[in-house]
Structure 1
């Protein structure tokens, strides 16, 4: 079979694909399948907690209506699953009406559809720094400008976001929306405070912008009291206007069903509907009916409680191991839920360059620069705790700390050598 030159048709490819890049976490998957490696890279939920018997029960229930399960469905989703989505959103204090809910093939499709609906080439999007790499990939097809806004332990700096919007407008750049992952942010694990959520909503009103509230982890809280969703804050004022809420069943049921949703006002959903028709016609009836059968049984709340217990234990194992093994120059976030811890190394270390050495030691992570559109974050990394048992997390952090210390020692050795050479040169010149 002849070898295919993958670049042969560069002259035919659309301009929009030139900005596309693969996710570092996805690229690591094949490498991470080798025996013995401890992966703190992927953002996987622990689906083993679901149990095969529960899956058999709901599959049997769906089989009783197999003709419908195997058929095409409405573009926006079955009415029954929209009722389930309303219940899930209500559990987090966010009111929803069936007509304001639109089903997508994973929340990732929701991101792509939002980009398709709102973005022209050169438009700007306000994002946290760092931000979810899947959002960067989804938006990049439409060739926008990503305006990163710094975060602290309270989430996005709203004052900095306001400055970014004003600066863009002075440059005649159209800012279309603010994108945020407000709860246990991917990748940083930070939660946007209640006060800043209100400020962000006011900022969007002031500049007549959309807020895309991407909330896959909201119910996965281990500690503290949950702030209200931005969508619920807007609706409490009698509006459903500018907040586009994205949810997913990947974290509260299973990623294999590939179902998420958009909650927004009717004008936006009409455009989303047209975009989805062009993409995949409709999401899987089979997946929708599996979810409906399970959530109607009422078991999902108990399942979430089991997940929270597992994830809390693993989060604590990671934080304890980081405190025990990492050198003083390394810092990390302390999430109250979700899947991720964000680690910041000394500025002179490059987490991407260090990754091969870490993999040789059988430990993997996601380098930080993939979560920035501008290549920042080279001295950062994202660690996942949801998918690895506590003892492996502890061992993985120990191995990772050894790699980091070796890189730091190598840097110190180079600097000592450089200083010694400088002193010899100075003596020679005398």
Structure 2
């Protein structure tokens, strides 16, 4: 199994001397300590014995009511028996793989994809086919042609994995037209879609779009989490899925961990009972919007003109791309010498692509550290661009910049087990912008 670059980098976030733009960390310091103490006291006073006990595998009714409230905020209705409470959103991905995949089965996802999904797919020996993205999210025209190609080769994907809102790591959002198209493709081909939506409520600008599940429930496995709107430390996520799939996932979860933390479920319930949970989310939106803007300004100030990046309307991440002759995995080693970290782009691919890209997080870092971290990183990037640009002769072409709107050719729809490899890496395929909007 390939090591997850995100997992390896998490250890660095604990070092005081490193400014980490790597982790997908919410800022838990924004949650008042006195509120936490009060909520835990409430749980201890009213439900201590039950909170310390095992619970049902599918989750407690009291937390399912909270989940239904969160889903209603994104215009979704759900019955309690349609829900499975999980140990974080990551467990949903694992359970879907455990339930649906045999070694060699095909999974379709975006290029790039959530770095935490890559080792999960690999651990179940899936063959992964990645679909190009642009500023409107996954290209559904390419998805359609890829599915046709796979069908001709005798392959039928077990599911399509997508992060439609404020994509991790790309930061882009699937357009309304493509949401309808993706749901139509899934329905016509009777393909399951795993919709991973941890960031949907963290919108900083623009108009909210309907979830895939709200458009058509029949083939959608919906996944979300309390990690981004409350705390990752409670380790609670959930899925709403078609009944046959949910029943198998419930059995898989029972075999994995019996149940999710009862203490966490009682804590979440007490939190929702204590007042409007939406107020805290709104406070996070204000904080994260400012940090996003600071990071965008810092990119414009400190990165060379050859660099490009996305402008997310929400979520936690910006995807930056450097010239093709820069390898961000090598760049990370140099950046760590300056005590700043990011996630190299290769962590979001299964076939060696993404070598010139990086994921930058702004939610878990205060504005002063964002500015200083980007100053340090910008110096390293400019140094490497100047050095390798001169060695490759690209520096003399610095006045001619590639068009970020025209995606480069992508590899054929070859399952990852037989992919062409890093030597055939295309240039960046995301539509990026150079400056703040």
> Given the two structures, how large is their TM-score scaled by the length of structure 1?
0.90
1:114 aligns with 2:96: yes
Range with bigger deviation, 28-37 or 173-182: 28-37
1:129 aligns with 2:129: no
Larger Rg: 1
Instruction: Give the SS at the match of 2:116.
Output: helix
Aligned 1:50-199 pairs, distance under 5 A: 50-64=31-45, 65-199=47-181
For structure 1, the residue ranges without an aligned partner over 5 or more in a row are 1-19, 235-239, 420-430
Aligned 1:9-24 pairs, distance under 5 A: 20-24=1-5
- Root-mean-square deviation (Å): 1.5
Measured against aligned partners, the alpha-carbon deviations of 1:376-413 in whole angstroms (never above 9, x if no partner) come to 10000000000111121112112111111111111233
Q: Distance in 2 between matches of 1:415 and 1:103?
A: 52
Instruction: Give the SS at the match of 2:158.
Output: strand
Q: Distance in 2 between matches of 1:369 and 1:412?
A: 21
Q: Distance in 2 between matches of 1:119 and 1:143?
A: 8
Instruction: Give the SS at the match of 1:94.
Output: coil
Q: Distance in 2 between matches of 1:188 and 1:382?
A: 8
Measured against aligned partners, the alpha-carbon deviations of 1:111-144 in whole angstroms (never above 9, x if no partner) come to 1000011111111111000000111222222211
Q: Distance in 2 between matches of 1:68 and 1:361?
A: 49
Number of aligned residue pairs? 395
For structure 2, the residue ranges without an aligned partner over 5 or more in a row are 397-437
Counterpart selection for 1:259 from 233, 236, 242:
236
Q: Is residue 210–residue 243 contact of structure 1 (8 Å, CA) maintained in 2?
A: yes
Could you tell me which residue of structure 1 aligns to residue 350 of structure 2?
A: 373
Instruction: Give the SS at the match of 2:107.
Output: strand
Q: How far off is 1:415 after superposition?
A: 4.0
Give the 3 Å change call, closer, same or farther, for CA 391–294 of structure 1 in structure 2. same
Counterpart selection for 1:47 from 23, 28, 45:
28
Q: Distance in 2 between matches of 1:133 and 1:411?
A: 27
Give the 3 Å change call, closer, same or farther, for CA 412–140 of structure 1 in structure 2. closer
Counterpart selection for 2:11 from 30, 38, 41:
30
1:221 aligns with 2:198: no
Q: Is residue 108–residue 138 contact of structure 1 (8 Å, CA) maintained in 2?
A: no
Q: Distance in 1 between matches of 2:316 and 2:393?
A: 40
Could you tell me which residue of structure 1 aligns to residue 330 of structure 2?
A: 353
> Given the two structures, how large is their TM-score scaled by the length of structure 2?
0.88
Counterpart selection for 2:383 from 397, 401, 406:
406
Q: How far off is 1:206 after superposition?
A: 1.6
Runs of 4+ in 1 over 2 A off after TM superposition: 29-36, 412-417
Q: How far off is 1:416 after superposition?
A: 6.2
Q: Distance in 2 between matches of 1:75 and 1:58?
A: 24
